[in-house]
């Protein structure tokens, strides 16, 4: 008989290239709801990223050092297979704008079709993080703007070494 997944264990996946305060706020809230939260860095060799998976892992672990029930890992392949392997029963996704909805709806339905026992749970992003994305932060960094309020200190340091300011 198929074992039931653990509905007290949630997975929050993303590219995190790099992690922002928008992500950490969702993770911290999920950590209050679930016994265990696994933050999963999706490694897609076909996608160009600024930071290596190892660098992203280090930045996430550093940013989440105070969250005892949160661990950080990376995965490749289908997210739902990764969740199955962990035995996690919940996929947490953050919703920022209405424009996120269509994509999230499609992804949520596809994942449900692949594995009906794993539930996708959506959390609204805080209003102050609604427009932040990793690409936006990188664009501001690349062009010498101030992005310090969007990212944890370790990310700020890493971005400053990639894009030194005059």
What is the contact surface with ligand COA in residues (CB under 6 A)?
A: 13-15, 17, 20, 22-23, 26, 42, 78-80, 94, 96, 107, 110-111, 125, 129, 132-135
Whichever of 13 and 59 has its CB closer to ligand COA, that residue is 13
Q: Is 47 a catalytic residue?
A: yes
Q: Is 74 a catalytic residue?
A: no
- Cα 84–Cα 87–Cα 91 angle in degrees, nearest 5: 70
| Residue 15, CA distances (Å) to 6, 29, 35, 36, 112 in order | 24, 19, 23, 20, 21
Tokens 């990764």, located at residue? 82
Shortest separation between residue 45's beta carbon and ligand COA, angstroms: 12
Whichever of 1 and 98 has its CB closer to ligand COA, that residue is 98
Shortest separation between residue 38's beta carbon and ligand COA, angstroms: 13
Q: Which is catalytic among the residues 4, 47, 127, 149? A: 47
Cβ atoms 27, 61 nearer than 8 A = no
Q: Which is catalytic among the residues 9, 56, 93, 96? A: 96
Burial string for 96-130 (b: 16+ CB within 10 Å, else e) reads beeeeeeebeeebeebeeebeebbbbeeebeeebe
Q: Is 149 a catalytic residue?
A: no
Shortest separation between residue 163's beta carbon and ligand COA, angstroms: 16
Shortest separation between residue 151's beta carbon and ligand COA, angstroms: 10
Whichever of 9 and 111 has its CB closer to ligand COA, that residue is 111
Q: Is 23 a catalytic residue?
A: yes
| Residue 149, CA distances (Å) to 11, 40, 42, 62, 103 in order | 26, 24, 25, 17, 27
Whichever of 135 and 160 has its CB closer to ligand COA, that residue is 135
Q: Which of the residues are catalytic?
A: 23, 47, 96, 134
């Amino acid at each position: 008989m198929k074992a039931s997944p653990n509905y007290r264990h949630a997975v929050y996946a993303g590219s995190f290239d790099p992690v922002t305060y928008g992500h950490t706020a969702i993770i911290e809230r999920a950590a209050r709801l679930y016994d265990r939260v696994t933050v999963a860095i999706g490694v897609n060799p076909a996608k160009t990223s600024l930071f290596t998976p190892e660098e992203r892992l280090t930045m996430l672990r550093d940013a989440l050092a105070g969250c005892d029930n949160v661990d950080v890992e990376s995965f490749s392949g289908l997210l739902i297979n990764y969740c199955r392997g962990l035995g996690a029963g919940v996929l947490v996704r953050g919703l920022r704008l209405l424009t996120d909805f269509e994509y999230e709806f499609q992804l949520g339905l596809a994942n449900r079709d692949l594995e009906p026992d794993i539930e996708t749970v959506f959390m609204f992003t805080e209003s102050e993080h609604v427009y932040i994305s990793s690409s936006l932060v990188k664009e501001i960094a690349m062009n010498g703007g101030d992005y310090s309020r969007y990212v944890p200190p370790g990310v700020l340091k890493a971005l400053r070494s990639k894009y030194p300011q005059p």
